[in-house]
Chain A
């Protein structure tokens, strides 16, 4: 099971990112958990300054933009 975290203060780009990951996971039939982190201390604890950031299984894999769908698919595989 892959566990995703989307880091960001709750802006539109962060929301889009979370929805994109959920949609791709459903499409590919991959089971995931997804958590939206809005707490600043936690976000910075991951070393992320430009949001949205994406964390997969505890590791930061993306920062600063809405990821492309093909990117998300790679994480899900």
Chain B
């Protein structure tokens, strides 16, 4: 069904605009048109459908599900729910405090916070439709793995002392869920509201991502990637992660860039390490988390993620070589 976007791009770029399929501009434009139409179509559909079901997945309920679970079950649940529960990054602080206040261990809470931006249902659907289910599965499994590992490490090292002291003294009122209009029109209106909010928040990232992907696709020769980011350059993975650190994009926005990189022969581990580094660590998120985490914890958190992403890169390059 999604081929129609490719067909549409063929028509628009090659037939109507008259660009040659083997010209650089033609290839770039084709990539741009196909990805823009396909990604925005998928984005709107997935957010809308998830919006219809969102009331069952509210982060407030997640707290209830995880609280009181055994450690192992808590971790699995935290990263799974982290992946499917949408929340704006500015909610990460109140969620963090709310989870701890509800008696959820710091490690489990951090696992939830690490996984949430890395893996989400929109990115999974778009990854699957653009790069296939194998790539999507690998991405999801490693993303959740990093979340669990980070949580376990924080638990083992007893880093509770690196959480700001006031956090532990906050007492929470009865959890407020807001009133939900459970009728069909109510749910549709809500879901459409979600689409508007999310598209307004991330469209720039997505367009910039597609633009970069198109430019790479059409204008940068394959040899350059093979020389610098190919499988036989052992420094390519850490370099990709370091490059990704200061960059920030939403998980959806980075997909077209990853698509172009894979297409140019960059190994899968290097590409996934780069994606995770762009999506998982961001300055705004860190500024936000500084309110509840001491500077030491932020440094630890950033270092852990960078090292974990590098590890993921090497591991996947080893497995899929």
Interface residues of A (CB under 8 A from B): 8-14, 40-41, 43-51, 53, 60-68, 70
Instruction: A9-B291, A64-B91 given; name 9 further pairs at CB < 8 Å.
Output: A11-B89, A44-B94, A45-B170, A49-B59, A49-B60, A49-B98, A51-B88, A63-B177, A68-B189
| Distance in angstroms between the alpha carbons of A48 and B170 in the assembled complex | 13
A64 near B58: Cβ-Cβ < 8 Å: yes
Q: Which residues of B contact A66 (CB under 8 A)?
A: 193, 197
A-B interface, 5 closest residue pairs, ranked by CB to CB distance from nearest: A11-B90, A60-B176, A47-B173, A49-B98, A47-B176
Decide if B184 is an interface residue (CB 8 Å cutoff).
no
A68 near B94: Cβ-Cβ < 8 Å: no
Interface size class of B (residues with CB under 8 A): 20 to 34
| Distance in angstroms between the alpha carbons of A8 and B291 in the assembled complex | 13
Would you give the 0/1 interface string for B22-37, flagging 1 where the beta carbon is closer than 8 Å to chain A? 0000000000000000
Q: Is the interface of B mostly helix, strand, loop or mixed?
A: helix
Give the total number of A-B pairs whose CB atoms are below 8 A apart. Answer: 93
A68 near B193: Cβ-Cβ < 8 Å: yes
Contact of B291 (CB < 8 Å), options: A40, A62, A68: A40
A65 near B194: Cβ-Cβ < 8 Å: yes
Which has the most chain A C-beta neighbours within 10 Å: B63, B88, B174? B88
Q: Which residues of B contact A41 (CB under 8 A)?
A: 166, 170
Decide if B210 is an interface residue (CB 8 Å cutoff).
no
Contact of B95 (CB < 8 Å), options: A12, A14, A50, A68: A50
Q: Which residues of B contact A53 (CB under 8 A)?
A: 176, 178
A13 near B88: Cβ-Cβ < 8 Å: yes
Which has the most chain A C-beta neighbours within 10 Å: B178, B194, B292? B178
B172 near A63: Cβ-Cβ < 8 Å: no
B176 near A48: Cβ-Cβ < 8 Å: yes
| Distance in angstroms between the alpha carbons of A27 and B185 in the assembled complex | 26
User: B167: nearest residue on chain A (CB-CB)?
Assistant: A40
Answer whether A50 and B91 are a contact pair too, CB < 8 Å, given A40-B97, A66-B197. Answer: yes
Decide if B319 is an interface residue (CB 8 Å cutoff).
no
A9 near B93: Cβ-Cβ < 8 Å: yes
| Distance in angstroms between the alpha carbons of A44 and B174 in the assembled complex | 9
Near A by CB (< 8 A), chain B positions 182-225 give 189, 193-194, 197, 201
| Distance in angstroms between the alpha carbons of A10 and B88 in the assembled complex | 12
Contact of B91 (CB < 8 Å), options: A10, A51, A61, A67: A51
Answer whether A65 and B193 are a contact pair too, CB < 8 Å, given A49-B63, A50-B58. Answer: yes
Q: Which residues of B contact A51 (CB under 8 A)?
A: 88, 90-91, 94
| Distance in angstroms between the alpha carbons of A60 and B178 in the assembled complex | 7
A48 near B94: Cβ-Cβ < 8 Å: yes
| Distance in angstroms between the alpha carbons of A44 and B97 in the assembled complex | 8
A65 near B197: Cβ-Cβ < 8 Å: yes
Q: Which residues of A contact B101 (CB under 8 A)?
A: 44
Decide if B303 is an interface residue (CB 8 Å cutoff).
no
User: A63: nearest residue on chain B (CB-CB)?
Assistant: B178
B178 near A61: Cβ-Cβ < 8 Å: yes
